[in-house]
Each structure stands twice: as structure tokens, then as C-alpha cells.
Homo-oligomer: A and B are copies of this chain.
């Protein structure tokens, strides 16, 4: 299988991205990588590393983190992001990975790669840490405005992914809502509840945000506005709590000594909350795989994102999504 990687995207590009590529090639022998970006720089980094399974695809432009997404995708045709996506569109690559501008990746995936037939809105779907592993949050920000049918499709895509890539047998799909009973919520969630309930999914009903960290669901369905708030608040609160712990635990010598004993436990908690362990957030509903690695990804995070794409391809997630949609269209 062949995967294209945006060498120029993210805070630690290109060095960490290219190192992550090398790591993934060592881990997976069937893998071939197309590293997309400024050829000379990539060659410089790769000097010590040789593999027949690497192709460098030159791309002279870079889309910055704060550029307006749609404009950037339309104008910068020679950017590593656009060139990388063309590898998927043309069939040269099975998937594309980038740690760059999220908005540009979303816009580009729609404009340059295209949707799976029957999917109205692709969705960004990171794994959110929970006490017993992780749950997929879909949509986490690709669609600020949604219709009920979009939420139904998010449930289908999330379910297919959790089964295929994460190995969850019969993924429990929950609707994020402001009350657990049926009939709660706004017009969007009320109607989405009805659609999810009569679908073939393992729909377990509404979930309140309070219950999210408890891990009672495998797929958390919501519109992209709510999902983005959940994703960022989780990140912000965890950071804030760890900063407060650090302050308290370094306030005097006795505390410092005691904290050193507890460090392994604290590290376990912090690791559970760490995004990077899951690689990146897949963009589901796109033809071919597309994975958004965290902007602050290091080499290991990039390596994990590539392995995630390998699993995505191995388990035919795109095919499962297509089948789920066709099944629903026949029943609906």
C-alpha cells in the first residue's frame, strides 16, 4: 500500500515528519511512502536513511497554519497539501496524512479528493480519551452547521471506523445531548435521535457531556460546533488541571519529594489524556484515507498516524462506510 505524507505541515515539520516516515517504514514492510514537500530539504533530512519504498514528490509551496483555508487550497496548487491530495485523487496513493492547517485539509479533501457517494458531509473524527480507552468524537469541527441526516451519517462512519480500525465488535453509538431521555435537546438532536434509533446502528441513546469521560459509548455523534467545543474543552481542562497539580506539587520541598514518588502514576494519567497516542484524527467520508495529525506532532505521532492509515486501508473502512450508506438508502 502507498501513503502520501505532507512533509511541510505542522509545528515540527519537516524534520519530525520525515523522521516519523522512516519509523513507519521500519515498522511495516508492506508500506510505501510518497513524501510530499520541498525536495531538497527532504533529501537533506533523509541523508542517513535509504529505502526503495520512499518516493519524494516535489511541492514548492507551503500552506501556513493561519492562511484562509479555501483560498489557500485554490491558489496554492503547488503546495505540499494540494500535491499530496492529488496523489490520492489520481490513485497513486491510498491515503494522505498531514499535520498542517486543519481548515485547509478539510476544504482540500472536499475540493481535491471528493466525497464517498451518499455521504453529504465528511467529518473530522478524533479519538477522545476516556477512562477505559477512547471514544470517537464525530464531528469535531468540519461542519459548524449540520442537518439531522448528517448526524446519522456521522454515526455510520464512526461505527465503521471503530469496528474496522479499533477492533470494537459492535460499536455503541451515542448522541451527545443535554438530557438522557428521548425528546430532549434542540430541533437537530431531536430529529437525529429519531433517525439513529431506526437505523441499523447499535444506538444506545443520548449521552450527556458529563458521561463522556466514563467511556460508556464508542462513538459520540454531534454537530461540528458542539464537537469542537468538547474536543478543545477536554484539552484545555486537562492542561489546566495538570498545571495546577504541578504548581501545588512544587510549592515546597516536602511536596516535591512526595510528588516524585507519584510521578509514574501522574504520567500514566497524562498519557491516557494524550492525543498523540492515537496518531491523528481521520477525516471520514472522503474517497481514500485522509488523516489529520495533531499540529504539534513529533516523529512518533506521525509514525502512529501512518500506522493508523495502514489499518484504515487494511480493514477497508471506506468500503464499510459505502456499504452502510447503501444499506440505509435501501431501507430509508
Contacts and interface: CB of A to CB of B under 8 A. Distances in A.
Given A178-B225, A185-B225, A268 B248 contact: yes
Interface string A211-239: 11110000000001110111111111111
A24 B186 CA distance: 38
B230 A141 contact: no
A117 B67 CA distance: 45
A278 interface: no
Contacts of A272: 244
Contact of A178 (B144, B209, B249): B144
A259 interface: yes
A165 B243 CA distance: 29
Contact of A186 (B144, B214, B262): B144
A233 B248 contact: no
Contact of A249 (B144, B176, B225, B262): B262
Contacts of A210: 232-233, 235-236, 239
Name A's interface SS.
helix
Q: Chain A contact residues (Cβ within 8 angstroms of B): what range? A: 35 or more
Interface in A54-94: none
Interface stretch (A15-23, A148-156, A250-258, A289-297): A250-258
A178 to B, nearest CB: 4
A262 B259 contact: yes
Contact of A240 (B208, B213, B257): B213
B237 A238 contact: yes
Given A209-B231, A257-B258, 15 more contacts: A144-B186, A178-B224, A178-B228, A209-B228, A211-B236, A213-B239, A226-B226, A229-B229, A233-B234, A234-B237, A237-B237, A245-B266, A248-B268, A258-B262, A259-B262
